[in-house]
Amino acid sequence: MQYQGHYKNAPKHYLAVDCVIFGYENYELKLLLHKRPIQPQIGGWSLMGGFCGEKEALETAANRVLRQSTGLKDIYLEQVQAFSEPDRDPAARVISVAFYALIRIDKHDAGKVDEMGARWCSLDEVPELIFDHSDIVEKAKERLQMKASLELVGKELLPDEFTLTQLRRLYEAIYQRELDPGNFRKKVLGLNVLERLNTKNTEESKKGAFNYRFRPNSEELNGHERIIKI
């Protein structure tokens, strides 16, 4: 710390992370929200968040928040951006760095969620959120759409085995529009990252649909192929 003197006139700031936690259930994309337990705006719907520790990377802080609220480790996390309007939090000047996370709802710890007073909300009916959290959700959604258009998402949101219809419904939830079943199937299989299993899922159709899984060591897509035109 021998040089810190050069910085000592610089102001210091509260620094928080806010996590937009996406999950997929019942053909819907959902968001994990909770009622803010502290002032200001106590009781208002809020993203999961927390302060960044003294010597903690923001990514680490976001992972900590996720573990606390879902019990999960090793979650897929991506930084969205920093939100720094001076008055975004009326109580104090807090800069927040937003992340989005993709969660398998079937795997998460429902107990932890209850304990935090949290709830999964359908993305179509997100309640009014505190501060600028609605803006944060909007940006996170854009980023997720961008990611899903550049590579096949699903590993993080679906069970290990899934049908192509389930995958298509996930994409329909992400883009909030319908996709042609036949064309989606051809496009996705052409990417060569899925592997058909010999088992069938008969829960969602009479005929039964083959299960697929992500090929274990597929070297992902070549470059920047688009899955879905957006």
- Choose from its own copies, DNA, none: what does 222 bind? Cβ within 5-8 Å by kind: none
Cα 206 from Cα 199, distance rounded (Å): 15
58 binds, among its own copies, DNA, none (CB under 5 to 8 A by kind): its own copies
Q: Which of 165, 197, 214, 221 binds DNA (CB under 7 A)?
A: 165
Residue 13 lies near its own copies (rule: CB under 8 A): yes
All residues at 6 or more sequence positions from 7 whose CB lies less than 8 Å from its CB, including other chains: none
230 binds its own copies (CB under 8 A): yes
CB of 137 to its own copies, least distance (A): 17
CB burial class (10 A; 0-12, 13-18, 19+) of residue 207? exposed
Smallest gap from Cβ 157 to DNA, in A, equals 17
Report the alpha-carbon distance of residue 140 to residue 78 in Å, rounded: 9
Q: How far is the CB of 94 from its own copies (least distance, A)?
A: 7
From the list DNA, its own copies, none, partner contacted by residue 52 (C-beta under 5 to 8 A by kind): its own copies
Using CB atoms within 10 Å of the CB of residue 128, give its burial: 0 to 12 exposed, 13 to 18 middle, 19+ buried: exposed
208 binds DNA (CB under 7 A): yes
Q: Please tell me the distance from the alpha carbon of residue 95 to that of residue 107, in angstroms, as a whole number.
A: 31
Assess contact for 84 and 36: CB atoms under 8 A. Answer: no
Minimum distance from residue 49 beta carbon to DNA (Å): 37
Two tokens, residue 113: 């969620």
The whole-angstrom separation of Cα 225 and Cα 230 is 13
Instruction: Return residues touching DNA (CB under 7 A).
Output: 163-165, 180-183, 185-187, 200, 202, 204-210, 226, 229
Instruction: Return residues touching its own copies (CB under 8 A).
Output: 1-4, 6-7, 10-16, 38-40, 51-59, 79, 81-82, 84-86, 90-95, 97, 223-224, 226, 229-230
